[in-house]
A and B are shown apart, each in its own frame.
Chain A
Amino acid sequence: KAGVTQTPRYLIKTRGQQVTLSCSPISGHRSVSWYQQTPGQGLQFLFEYFSETQRNKGNFPGRFSGRQFSNSRSEMNVSTLELGDSALYLCASRASEYYEQYFGPGTRLTVT
């Protein structure tokens, strides 16, 4: 099976812009979660989508949003970018009946 893929892998944006990241889960996985990883805060949960519905949400401002399509692919959007949004954004998928997640390689976002 192909693994989780994320695009783009690297992105440089300026403050105030918006960005959309994409994640394709492992075939058959209906759950997709997004995480932000920074050296100081570790891996922080953004949200989880299951069958096109947001199932769980972390403690991030409304500038962070996501969606999931009928083929389970997911997108994450960040509007009005701030310098503090610079991070590695990881996407993970799992089969609905298991907790073990499979992570994509991540998108490294740099905001200048």
Chain B
Amino acid sequence: EDKVVQSPLSLVVHEGDTVTLNCSYEVTNFRSLLWYKQEKKAPTFLFMLTSSGIEKKSGRLSSILDKKELFSILNITATQTGDSAIYLCAVANRDDKIIFGKGTRLHILP
């Protein structure tokens, strides 16, 4: 069965710290990996990664995919209290089915 595992499940850091969130997966015929940020309600799209080794960046957030080792990381540098959220990783398989991990709950202390 296809699965996506995120770690850690929960993380508390101080403002200004750098954090690394992990996502590993086992899926049938991988197509794409996606990262979302969920604050109070709806998840919002951050990145989509399809090719191994190519970093995607947006401001202080960056992500990279390793298709050989079947994982991705999401880095957030110089964290701010507004980065507090649940970060979700999802993988699309050959049937275009999108499987989500349980998320990492990140809390930034001022």
Task: Tell whether B41 is near chain A: CB-to-CB under 8 Å.
Answer: yes
Q: Which residue of A lies closest to B93 (CB)?
A: A56
The answer to whether A103 touches B42 (Cβ under 8 A) is yes
Q: Which residue of A lies closest to B47 (CB)?
A: A100
The answer to whether B42 touches A106 (Cβ under 8 A) is yes
The answer to whether A99 touches B92 (Cβ under 8 A) is yes
Which residues from chain A sit less than 8 Å from chain B, CB to CB?
4, 33, 35, 41-45, 48, 55-56, 88, 90, 98-106
Q: Other than A43-B43, A56-B97, A104-B42, give 18 A-B pairs with Cβ distance below 8 A.
A: A4-B42, A41-B102, A42-B100, A42-B101, A42-B103, A43-B88, A45-B100, A55-B96, A88-B41, A90-B43, A99-B31, A99-B96, A99-B98, A101-B45, A101-B98, A103-B42, A103-B44, A106-B42
Which residues from chain B sit less than 8 Å from chain A, CB to CB?
31-32, 34, 36, 41-45, 48, 88, 92, 95-103
Identify 8 residue pairs between A and B in the complex whose beta-carbon atoms are under 8 Å apart, listed by A's number.
A33-B98, A35-B100, A42-B100, A42-B101, A43-B88, A56-B95, A56-B96, A100-B34
